[in-house]
Chain A
């Protein structure tokens, strides 16, 4: 058996790479696939926090590469979703601590035992980026409908192509339908026209992302996932070959309940 290795990248920081990795990973696992997540952000690891696994880390990628432990020992299995495992980044060393060849070997080894290996790429286009994309067969580019994010995404798409990853797929994250409707934000169509790659999905801006991240429980774990969670679930299904229509993000007028809630709104 040999799984697929995907890298999730963006160029710009703060657009939601790690949130995307955590949620797509969880969603793929919920669909019944075995999934390994690799945090490739050496020195600035955060995927463990988003998954709520920060207290269960014993070894990191670096320990595996240095022969201090077996790969299996470093994998943190998720108790809520046993099909998901995390390979944590080293927090004490920087991006130059490993080489692209080493990542290649590691992802290949993981792909023997998992259906999907998702690599969470660090921001930037330097050594950490080169390490993260080294073993990938597929690339997902995350962007938001903002000038700087789209510009950086364009640059990253070029670098991915140069590295042989020619069919990168795009996720437009944190879209605000009301702002698009008011012509105050670029639409998905605008972004697609500029970047001209395949669209994998659109994720609406959602306060629930902050709330679930606070608790270390990815959005897609909720029993009734909010729109952003539904969007990630759909992306996971598309990744595994299904055809799923894009979410309807048309702006609906606020319901009576919504208006009532805004009256009582408190930070939760």
Chain B
């Protein structure tokens, strides 16, 4: 109660108010709606993203969050992939494998 009161007094234009959270979430979900990417393509991209990052880090299963952010006319893809730990047995000297089309 006291903390809430202090927040109310000092955190007038705070960054993490429910108002700014709402605005930011809405922007992101609209950016995604407007991209009109097919669910199939998104699913494939998520799978491959997890596969690549999973080579280097042990990942939280099922925790990938993908969102789009829009700033003016440009759109950014933001992926949030919680990791458990770095894999120690990664051979970093191996040449990068690029798939032939």
A131 at the interface (CB under 8 A from B): no
A77 at the interface (CB under 8 A from B): yes
Q: Does B15 contact A (CB under 8 A)?
A: no
Complexed CA–CA distance, A211 and B25 (Å)? 13
Residue A215 at the chain B interface, CB threshold 8 Å:
yes
In the complex, whether A162 has a CB less than 8 A from a CB of chain B is no
Determine how close the nearest CB of chain A comes to the CB of B50; give it in whole angstroms. 12
| A49–B5 touching, CB < 8 Å | no
Q: Which single member of B5, B9, B25, B65 contacts A56 (CB below 8 Å)?
A: B65
With a cutoff of 8 Å between Cβ atoms, the chain A residues found around residue B40 in the complex are 63, 68
Q: Is A260 an interface residue (CB 8 A)?
A: yes
Q: Contact between A214 and B19 (Cβ–Cβ < 8 Å)?
A: yes
Interface residue? B97 (CB, 8 A): no
Cα–Cα distance between A260 and B39 once the two chains are bound (Å): 51
B65–A266 touching, CB < 8 Å: no
Q: Quick one: which of B25, B36, B39 has the most chain A CB within 10 A?
A: B39
Rounded to whole angstroms, the CA-CA distance of A265 and B11 in the bound complex is 11
Measured CB to CB, the nearest residue on chain A to B20 is A214
Instruction: Give the distance in Å from the alpha carbon of A79 to the alpha carbon of B63 in the complex.
Output: 9
Number of residues from B at the complex interface, CB < 8 A: 31
Partner of A58, one of B5, B7, B25, B43: B43
A55 touches B66 (CB 8 A): yes
Q: Does A267 sit at the interface, judged by CB under 8 A?
A: yes
The minimal Cβ–Cβ distance linking B15 to chain A, given in whole angstroms, is 13
- Interchain CB contact under 8 A, A266 and B12: yes
Q: Is the CB of A257 within 8 A of B1?
A: yes
Interface residue A261 (Cβ < 8 Å from any Cβ of B)? yes
The reply to whether B12 and A55 contact each other, CB–CB distance below 8 Å, is no
B22/A55 in contact, CB under 8 A: no
Residues in B with CB closer than 8 Å to A79 are 63
List, in ascending order, chain B residues with CB within 8 A of A77's CB. 62
Instruction: Please determine whether A55 and B8 come into contact, CB atoms closer than 8 angstroms.
Output: no
State in angstroms the CA–CA spacing of A268 and B28 once bound together: 21
User: Which B residues between 50 and 77 are near A, CB-CB below 8 angstroms?
Assistant: 62-67
Contact for B21 among A68, A215, A264, A267, CB less than 8 A: A215
Query: CB distance B17 to A58 under 8 Å?
Result: no
Flag if B39 contacts A215 (CB, 8 Å): no
22 contacts between A and B (CB under 8 A): A49-B29, A54-B28, A54-B32, A55-B65, A55-B67, A56-B64, A58-B43, A60-B39, A63-B40, A69-B43, A91-B33, A211-B18, A214-B22, A214-B25, A215-B18, A216-B21, A264-B5, A264-B9, A265-B8, A266-B11, A267-B17, A268-B17
> Residues of A with Cβ closer than 8 Å to B?
49, 54-56, 58-60, 63, 68-69, 77, 79, 91-92, 210-216, 257, 260-261, 264-268
Q: Which residues of B contact A (CB under 8 A)?
A: 1, 5, 7-9, 11-12, 17-19, 21-22, 25-26, 28-29, 32-33, 36, 39-40, 42-43, 46, 62-67, 80
Given contacts A55-B66, A264-B8, 4 further A-B contacts (CB under 8 A): A49-B25, A211-B18, A268-B11, A268-B19
**Across the A-B interface, the 3 shortest Cβ-Cβ residue pairs:** A214-B22, A214-B18, A55-B65
